[in-house]
Copies of this chain bind each other. A is one copy, B any other.
Amino acid sequence: MEGSSQMPIYKKIIDYIEKCIKNGVYIRGGAIPSEQELCEMFQCSRMTVRKALDELVSTGILFKAQGKGAFVSTIEYDRLYSLKGFTQIMKEQGYEASSEVLSFEQVPASDEIARKLRIIEGDMVYSLARIRKASGVALSIEQVYLPAIELPDLEKYEFSTCSLYETMEREYGLRIERAVQTINTVEVTGEQAQILFQKDQGVALRSFSIGYDKNSKPIEYEIALYNGYKYSIDVIINN
């Protein structure tokens, strides 16, 4: 699996420390081995150990105190990864995630979509609309736009059962590294209100989100409406 020997040493150290935290070998608020000890454990130089620790500090998993050592952050570990997607979040909370696909088609990008995805108006985008459910209860209506050129033949996948994020990563090597999200409220009526609230109207939580890959290229523009009484948006903010 992971531990292949061509993996850089610093990544092995990161993996090792994360595993120790998950296993409870290193406990929340407790110290991890000193840099010197990690050098000996992994038979490497101090700079290599420090590269690993720097990365764990920047993701919020560890914090350091000069003269004292490095410690496991006391923020709940699971929350440190925010970009999980609906499917994974629901799975972790013990619900069965499912989706009902309302539409899935290629359309030319409108002016708004083209601006968000930084493509030319009229370029083709995949438009995927889904109802997201947890254990059968509708929690959100999600409209996603994806640049067709980045995801050729996407129509062969069936997103009522597949996770969109998993498919993008596995089949296209596209991973959302960073997203910019705006959240507010909006009155909904008609079909949307029926789906979310089983009423003629209601107030939904609305999220606009642009997802970027590692080269800071936009690869996803999403507009989602949530039943904000049944669902919360969790985010972690770094300075």
Contacts and interface: CB of A to CB of B under 8 A. Distances in A.
Interface of A: 29, 47, 54-55, 58-60, 63, 65, 71, 73-76, 79, 81-83, 118, 175-186, 203-205, 212, 214-217, 228-229, 231-239
A183 B235 CA distance: 8
Given A75-B178, A205-B205, A83 B237 contact: yes
B75 A181 contact: no
A178 B186 CA distance: 28
Contacts of A47: 47
Nearest to A208: B232
Contacts of A212: 75
A99 to B, nearest CB: 21
A177 B229 CA distance: 29
A203 B185 contact: yes
A183 B233 contact: yes
Given A58-B58, A205-B183, A232-B184, A63 B214 contact: yes
Contacts of A214: 63
Contacts of A63: 214-216
Contacts of A82: 237-239
B233 A182 contact: yes
Contacts of A203: 185, 203, 228
Of A60, A75, A179, A183, chain B has the most CB atoms within 10 Å of the CB of A183
B236 A180 contact: yes
Contact of A182 (B60, B182, B216, B232): B232
Contacts of A178: 60, 75, 236-239
The 8 A-B pairs of least Cβ separation, nearest first, read A185-B228, A203-B203, A184-B232, A73-B216, A83-B239, A183-B233, A179-B237, A58-B58
A180 B78 CA distance: 11
